[in-house]
Chain A
Amino acid sequence: MTTVGIVMLVHTALGRAEQVARHWAAAGCPVVIHVDRIVPKATHDAFVQALSDLPDVLFSRRYRCEWGTWGLVAATQAASEMMLAQFPTVRHVYLASGSCLPLRPVEELIDYLAARPRTDFIESATTADVPWTVGGLDEERFTLRFPFSWRKNRYLFDRFVALQRRIGWKRRIPKGIVPHMGSQWWCLTRQTLSAILQDPERTRFDRYFAKVWIPDESYFQTLVRLYSQSIESRSLTLSKFDFQGKPHIFYDDHLQLLRRSDCFVARKIWPHADRLYEAFLTDPATAMNRTEPNPGKIDRIFAKAVERRTRGRTGLYMQSRWPNPGWENGVTSGPYSVFSGFAELFEDFDIWLARATDARVHRHLFAPERVEFAGNQPVIEGALSDSAAVRDYNPRAFLTNLVWNTRGERQCFQFGPSDAQDISWFMANDPNAQISVISGAWAVPLFQSNRNFADLRKEAALLQKIESEFLDALRSPYAKARVRIWTMAEFIEAPMEPLQTVIDEIGHRALRRLSEVPKMADLRGFGQFLQNLKNQGMHPYLMGDFPVERDDAPPTKRPRKPYLVQ
């Protein structure tokens, strides 16, 4: 009767390795164990002693297995040779590590392989086809030299790679082979494995691969292509890798997930995951509460983890995510709208806007006295307070927090030249900001106020200067916000069309014509007011050309028909 032989590479958690070896042996699988030479002799001897009651568990010659070096391949070769020589009934050899855990009853694996006596299960793909590798070394693993340890001498490793790239110094790939890579955990047939190990050219190949980087991911994967009759290019071992190429670890809370995987073996398991070892190493009848396999779920969970580590959550700034400028993947977490001049030109604009859209409409969030949240609340989502001092201490944090805390709901707010301006560049650079400006509308409240003209003149000059700087930011080539600017004169000529555009963009209730028109402030005499400013030597230009005499009522007084038609 043929069987499956297990080659186990072990370097830590020997107790767990012993447990797993016993599990394999109990199902009739011979096991050859390679213990890393770094394991102290006493520990090693105790381990060997512990397994001495099992005749079918053997130990192969020890090599030093530093990650990414030839030692791992040498160890695998030695153990495989021993396996093939000592156990003639073995038809498939399964390469596993000490932290691998069989998920399905071993009998199932034996049956599965017995039904596919000629198939080699080994992930094997050409470097050109898969961009898996981390660190930018794929093709170059086979053509450069790596005399320095990546783990211990990263600096020299990198420098030496850079040097070789620069001078174009390349190794020749031996004739007859095409480099392939894949997971180092494979299951090969006796025929294929012995062909690789007994190849007359083996010394030549070994000499070459000994200097390839991470040869354990390419030696068998490449050579198998020379001999195998039938390759299934996948690993029977479930193994997930993170963005640095190191394997994800499974813990007790992955139990249900692993139960639903249809893989035979999983790696790697945290040595202290008692529940996992208990659940999967007990007798086969109870081991698997056979549930519907759902391997996709594992993929999703680990893919998400990689995504979170590399891309993060858009618009989130926190203790472990502080992106450099330009690396935020979106400086805020969602779109928001900024209105400048609308609240001045229209009476109760915020109330009207809230009715016309689904958005939350605040008043002047950056008002100098306090933050004017919607509904005049002193605190809103996330316990963000209305203190102007706190806001001005870190305006950027204030705005990103607001947008983050209310994600899912669009925020709108008023912004004008009398507000704290520190945030203006940030908004201008944010593609999520929709900024609509009626320039010069700040003059309307001045016009309506009952103050001395000298003060008004001074204030107008100041506001005009601030707004002009704001407009410069919005018009700068760095601005990424969705900006619309109208002069006041331009806007009041046809106010509904721009309003409709802006509202449509806010969305949700889109495709509906505005049925209600915000009430525009009474502008009779405004032209004269501007003229008076001019006469005092202060030229207001941001509002565009206003005729001095403009006696007719503001045009919005008679609603324009097309916008009322549904």
Chain B
Amino acid sequence: MGIWRSYRLRLQRKRWLIRAFRKRREMTGIADRTASIRPGDILLFSTLRNEQVRLPYFLNYYREMGVNHFLFVDNDSNDGGLEYLAEQPDVSVWHTRRSYKRARFGVDWLNWLQRKYGHGHWTLVVDPDEFLVYPFCDTRPLRALTDWLDASSIKSFSAMLLDMYPKGRIDAQPYLSGQDPLQIASWFDAGNYGMTKNPMFGNLWIQGGPRQRMFFADTPEKAPALNKIPLVKWDRRYVYVSSTHTLLPRGLNLVYDEWGGEKASGVLLHTKFLDTFTAKAAEELTRKQHYAASVEYRAYAASLQNNPELWCKWSEKYINWRQLEILGLMSKGNWA
């Protein structure tokens, strides 16, 4: 990469940092327990809106995994989620009424919080419907992974988004608070992912899965990106460029091996397709706060009317991380 390109990326990184700095006043602290963060703690950052029903299971899942502190930005929820979060002993939460879209889908807000609180920590950035699975996650806590990454001098860990869906209509089985969403949305597409390399940022751009198969079969280029790098040993100079797909500096995006080998990677089980999604899709159609004027939600609403079943004969039922490893969706790399 030439000096000029690398200089431009540097400028871009600075720009996102300045933007995050400007956006910091959009958030007001509701419960700030960040003083209890100790060196070496693993932190989780998330933005959300009206996800109260998912929160109990979400918090529990990541607490058990070994996350020490949660930092949330609540984008004007009106379902009691904010109050619920404020009561949790290991949660700090900020509130904002400002535009999610103008904060580049929450990236600016989180970039600021990560810069302020995440420096020197392993930080995990996930949405409330995303559940991280990494090699040996059934027997080793997240700290084992981050210690190993530290020992291997690896700063970022890839976990591709895997869309989970139920068998039958999406709204057939209601999701109850505290329930494991994977009990309902337990199916996924195992092998229809295509990827290309983004020459600018060096990250892989992965598309495919049930959304491309069902909603974007005629316009596959519009299918959402599935590559994510949610776990990073954060430094205050780092920024997420768009969602957790892309980072700067560029080296953090090189989570793949180019010489034939496999690096260790995980999967984010994306449990968006529950009965709650129908209501969300309807709201987003009017709010238009999501990516590309909510193109995804529009495509979804269109198909929802006639055939809301994502399941097909060749869908795979989720068992555990080893299954995902064998299917080639994630890898142990040289972690054994």
Contacts and interface: CB of A to CB of B under 8 A. Distances in A.
Contacts of B159: 319
B331 A305 contact: no
B5 interface: no
Nearest to A391: B220
A248 B336 CA distance: 7
A272 B204 contact: no
B194 A311 contact: no
Interface string A398-437: 1001001100000000000000000000000000000000
Interface stretch (A69-77, A184-192, A323-331): A323-331
A548 interface: no
A193 interface: no
Contacts of B15: none
B140 to A, nearest CB: 5
B261 A383 contact: no
B32 interface: no
Contact of A389 (B219, B257, B330): B219
B132 interface: no
B336 A246 contact: no
A253 B140 CA distance: 8
Contact of A322 (B152, B160, B256, B336): B256
Interface in B300-336: 312-316, 328-336
Given A382-B192, A393-B194, A308 B330 contact: no
A319 B139 contact: no
B213 A390 contact: yes
B270 to A, nearest CB: 14
A389 B262 contact: no
A312 B328 CA distance: 10
Interface stretch (B56-64, B72-80, B143-151): B143-151
Contact of B194 (A253, A305, A394): A394
Contacts of B136: 251, 253
Interface string A308-348: 11111100111111111001110000000000000000000
Given A252-B139, A319-B204, A319-B256, A301 B336 contact: yes
A362 to B, nearest CB: 15
A409 to B, nearest CB: 14
A224 B147 CA distance: 35
A19 interface: no
A301 B210 CA distance: 35
B167 to A, nearest CB: 13
A304 interface: yes
Interface in B249-301: 255-265
B197 to A, nearest CB: 7
A549 interface: no
Contact of A319 (B219, B255, B258, B336): B255
Contacts of B152: 244, 246
B262 A320 contact: yes
Contacts of A313: 262, 328
Contacts of A304: 336
A308 B4 CA distance: 36
Contact of B255 (A311, A317, A320): A320
A305 to B, nearest CB: 4
Contacts of B263: 309, 320-321
A389 B220 contact: yes
Nearest to A383: B189
Interface string A488-511: 000000000000000000000000
Given A272-B144, A319-B330, A401 B257 contact: no
B296 to A, nearest CB: 16
Interface residues of B, number: 61
A397 interface: yes
A398 B189 CA distance: 14
Contacts of A310: 259-261, 334
Contact of B195 (A251, A253, A378, A397): A397
A249 interface: yes
Contacts of A251: 136, 139-140, 144
B84 interface: no
A323 B136 CA distance: 25
| Dominant SS among interface residues on chain B | loop
Contacts of A377: 313
B213 A302 contact: no
A248 B144 CA distance: 12
Interface in A287-303: 301-302
B329 to A, nearest CB: 7
A313 B325 CA distance: 11
Interface string A251-290: 1110000000000000000101000000000000000000
B314 A379 contact: yes
A242 B143 CA distance: 20
Nearest to B189: A383
B195 A322 contact: yes
B334 A309 contact: yes
Contacts of B107: none
A2 interface: no
Interface in B196-219: 196-197, 204, 206-208, 210, 212-213, 216-219
Interface in B227-255: 227, 255
B11 to A, nearest CB: 24
B334 A306 contact: yes
B213 A319 contact: no
B294 to A, nearest CB: 22
A252 B140 contact: yes
Contact of A393 (B147, B220, B259, B331): B220
B100 to A, nearest CB: 27
Given A319-B256, A387-B217, A394-B196, A305 B332 contact: yes
B123 interface: no
A331 to B, nearest CB: 11
A520 B221 CA distance: 42
Interface centre among B158, B264, B316, B331 (most CB of A within 10 A): B331
B262 A327 contact: no
B141 interface: yes
B191 interface: yes
Central interface residue in B159, B194, B195, B218, by most chain A CB within 10 Å: B194
Contacts of B17: none
A260 B227 CA distance: 40
Nearest to B136: A253
Contacts of A385: 192, 213, 217
A249 B194 contact: no
A379 B220 contact: no
Nearest to A319: B160
B34 to A, nearest CB: 24
A243 interface: yes
A82 interface: no
A378 B261 CA distance: 33
B191 A405 contact: yes
B164 interface: no
A404 B208 CA distance: 15
A48 interface: no
Nearest to A252: B139
Nearest to A377: B313
Contacts of B158: 319-320
The 7 closest A-B CB pairs, nearest first, are A382-B191, A397-B194, A309-B334, A394-B194, A305-B336, A320-B265, A383-B189
16 contacts: A244-B152, A310-B259, A310-B260, A316-B328, A318-B195, A319-B206, A321-B260, A322-B195, A322-B197, A322-B258, A329-B260, A382-B192, A382-B314, A383-B191, A383-B312, A401-B194
Given A308-B331, A328-B260, 16 more contacts: A272-B141, A272-B147, A305-B333, A308-B261, A308-B262, A312-B260, A316-B262, A319-B158, A321-B261, A322-B258, A379-B213, A383-B314, A389-B217, A389-B218, A394-B195, A397-B193
